[in-house]
């Protein structure tokens, strides 16, 4: 089955630690996106990529980094510079009829 | 700044009633519009998209678009408790893959 796989489902980060969220798709989509969702805040765009080896900052890119070395993969690193990383993170790809979303990663700072 | 506005709710309707969810957008260049349903703790799933003025029906769901008024709505007929979720409205600009999302309306269908 085609789709987007995010892992892990739950992730715990200690203060000062970098963590990487995985996003893999087998849909052959060019454009991929990372969103952050906080309660009552809707979806906020972190980074997006429209083609391999190219990506652009979204509205809240500070404290995050991404790479796009392969069409299938778009990992997101939450760095220690992100002071309030606790949130639900969603990866998506553009399907021609809106986005297909992964199942999300819930990140908690401990 | 492109914006999509939704009433956050909660919107409560009795089972079997029609639920009406509304959305306005600021970018007149927006061409396509999407409604996603998101259950608590889950990721959004696409339920409808519309790009022409007028109505589009799919089962119990009807999407309505009025580009002159910059207004999009979603009607859910014969509402069921399983329809209780947050509904996200999104717009897509011309020549862009990127969607702009509203903050969502929480719908509660009361048995």
For the segment B9-36, what is each residue's pLDDT rounded down to a tens digit?
Answer: 899 999 999 999 999 999 999 999 999 9
**B89 at A interface, C-beta within 8 A:** no
Percent of chain B at pLDDT > 70 equals 100
Those residues whose C-beta lies under 8 Å from the C-beta of residue B23, and which sit 6 or more positions away, are: B4, B5, B6, B33, B71, B72, B73, B74, B89, B102
List residues in chain A touching B: CB distance below 8 A. 31, 33, 40-43, 45, 48, 50, 90, 94, 97-104
Residue of B98, B104, B107 whose CA lies nearest to A43 = B104
User: Which positions in chain A touch B34 (Cβ < 8 Å)?
Assistant: 98-99
Q: Is the pLDDT of residue B1 over 90?
A: no
User: Which positions in chain B touch A33 (Cβ < 8 Å)?
Assistant: 98
List pLDDT tens digits, range A28-72: 999 999 999 998 788 999 999 999 999 999 999 999 999 999 999
Those residues whose C-beta lies under 8 Å from the C-beta of residue A7, and which sit 6 or more positions away, are: A21, A22, A105
Least confident of A15-19, B14-18, B93-97: B93-97
User: Which positions in chain A touch B97 (Cβ < 8 Å)?
Assistant: 31, 50, 94
């Amino acid at each position: 089955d085609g789709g987007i796989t995010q892992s892990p489902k739950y992730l715990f980060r200690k203060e000062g630690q970098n963590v990487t969220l995985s996003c893999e798709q087998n849909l052959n989509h060019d454009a991929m996106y990372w969103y952050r969702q906080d309660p009552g805040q809707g979806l906020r765009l972190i980074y997006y990529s429209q083609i391999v080896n190219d990506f652009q900052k979204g509205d809240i890119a500070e404290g995050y980094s991404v790479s796009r070395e392969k069409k299938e993969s778009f990992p997101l690193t939450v760095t220690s510079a992100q002071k309030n990383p606790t949130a639900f993170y969603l990866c998506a790809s553009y399907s021609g009829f809106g986005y297909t979303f992964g199942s999300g990663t819930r990140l908690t700072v401990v | 700044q492109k914006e999509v506005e939704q009433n956050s709710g909660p919107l409560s309707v009795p089972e079997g009633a029609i639920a009406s969810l509304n959305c306005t957008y600021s970018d007149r260049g927006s061409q396509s519009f999407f409604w996603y349903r998101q259950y608590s703790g889950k990721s959004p799933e696409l339920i409808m998209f519309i790009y022409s003025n007028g109505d589009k029906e799919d089962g119990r769901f009807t999407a309505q678009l009025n580009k002159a008024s910059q207004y999009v709505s979603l009607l859910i007929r014969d509402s069921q408790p399983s329809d209780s979720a947050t509904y996200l409205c999104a717009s897509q600009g011309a020549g862009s893959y990127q969607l702009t999302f509203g903050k969502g309306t929480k719908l509660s269908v009361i048995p």
